[in-house]
Amino acid sequence: MDEKETGRLEAFSDGVFAVAITLLVLNIKVPEPDKLLSDANLWKALFTQWPTLAAFVTSFFTIGIMWLNHHRVFTLIKRTDTSLIMINLVLLLIIVFIPVPTELLAEYLLRFDLHTAAIIYAGTFLLMASAFNILWRYASYQGRLLGKHVNMHLVRSINRQFAFGPLLYLICFGLAWFNTPVSLFFGLALALFFAVPGSS
């Protein structure tokens, strides 16, 4: 029955992750045909959309790899309680919100003198990493919600890797105040870094 409880939580979370990651595409707008009368003009119009694509790809991998790590920790978490469900809802709230800063960043990526959009974008990732860290700390503290025969070696390895999560996203957030493209690139690199499981 405990197993089944996290099963439900995981299924609902999977659904939210899948919808949120797909809604990102709604940010990409197609140029109107009336204004673009030649192939050359259309290519040019599409190439000017690269900030939208860069933001789309970064957010896609960030959500996708957050889903991956969500599942990694839920292979260890076997029980749920009200606090875990609420922390998970807060994490999903942040995930669902990601398309908004993504669109904002895409619109302001080329305005090098403005940093508000990048700060909000990196700030959302920082909140996401923090919520995920709290979820794992809460569930794993003294093995609270883990299985009885959990691999403590694996738990410590996850602890080690995730300890750096909020810290690394804090650096990403700090970069956003100075240089928007560098912060975006660093965010993409972080997503890929967290795709690799910690050495166990």
Q: Which of 32, 142, 148, 199 is the binder for a copy of itself (CB under 8 A)? A: 32
Stretch that binds a copy of itself, among 55-63, 130-138, 154-162, 181-189 (CB under 8 A): 55-63
DSSP type of residue 38: S
What are the angstrom distances between the C-alpha of 147 and each of 7, 57, 69, 82, 131?
Answer: 14, 36, 18, 18, 22
Residue 99 CB, nearest approach to a copy of itself (Å):
6
Q: CB neighbours (10 Å) of residue 101?
A: 20
Residues paired with 146 in a beta bridge: 77
State yes or no: residue 20 binds a copy of itself (CB under 8 A). Answer: yes
Q: Which of 84, 103, 136, 176 is the binder for a copy of itself (CB under 8 A)? A: 103
Residue 8's Cβ-side half-sphere holds a number of Cα atoms within 13 Å equal to 8
Q: Which residue, 71 or 160, is less far from a copy of itself as judged by CB?
A: 71
Q: Which residue, 35 or 142, is less far from a copy of itself as judged by CB?
A: 35
* Residue numbers 163-192 binding a copy of itself by CB under 8 A: none
State yes or no: residue 194 binds a copy of itself (CB under 8 A). Answer: no
Q: Smallest Cα–Cα separation from 36: which of 44, 28, 24?
A: 44
Stretch that binds a copy of itself, among 107-115, 132-140, 165-173, 181-189 (CB under 8 A): 107-115
User: Phi, psi at residue 192, to the nearest 5°?
Assistant: -65, -35
What are the angstrom distances between the C-alpha of 82 and each of 135, 145, 172, 185?
Answer: 12, 12, 32, 37
- Any residues with CB less than 8 A from the CB of 169 and at least 6 apart, and which? 122, 125, 126, 128, 129, 130, 187, 190
State yes or no: residue 151 binds a copy of itself (CB under 8 A). Answer: no
State yes or no: residue 48 binds a copy of itself (CB under 8 A). Answer: no
Q: Under the rule (CB under 8 A), what is the footprint of a copy of itself?
A: 1, 4, 8, 10-12, 14-26, 28, 30, 32-33, 38-39, 42-43, 46, 56-57, 60-61, 64-65, 67-68, 71, 75, 82, 85-86, 89, 92-93, 96-97, 99-100, 103-104, 107-108, 111, 114-117, 120, 195-197
